[in-house]
Amino acid sequence: NSRADCPPDVEMLGRSSWTLLHTIAATYPDTPSRTQQSDMLRFVDLFSKLYPCWVCAEDFQSYIAQKVPKVSSRDEFGQWLCGAHNDVNRKLGKKEFDCSKWLERWKTGPPDGRVQSLKAPVDVA
């Protein structure tokens, strides 16, 4: 912990939050029950209302209203979330992430173990 993390700024909050969200997607069932699907919809909805960067939260709520979260399987939800994250990446002028690699980035890791190669597109200016 460095002083720079305390309190978290919008960037630190964002990185930590995306880590939580994508990791939740990576551990979401392949075939979720009705209850798991409705829990996920409620979670995303409440997250978008409680996210403590109000400008970010407003935009995220509009995104959800236009593109309703897809929660019928792990891959569907992971792809949806990747699209939502890319929407923010575009807004901030960051490179878009290749959504075919979301599970590799957040669960399995790349076949050759070069995790860095997946981080590079958005971490390196």
Binding interface with ligand FAD (CB under 6 A): 10-11, 14-15, 17-18, 22, 51, 55-56, 59-60, 82, 85-86, 88-89, 92, 94, 97, 102, 105, 118-119, 122-123
* Residue number, 17 or 39, with CB nearest to ligand FAD: 17
**Residue 4 CB partners (closer than 8 Å, separation 6+):** none
- What's the DSSP call for residue 70? P
- CA dist list (Å): 31 to 27, 53, 74, 77: 11, 32, 7, 11
- Rounded to a whole number of angstroms, the minimum distance from the CB of residue 94 to ligand FAD is 6
Show the tokens assigned to 99.
Answer: 């959504």
Q: Residue 73 or 86: which CB sits closer to ligand FAD? A: 86
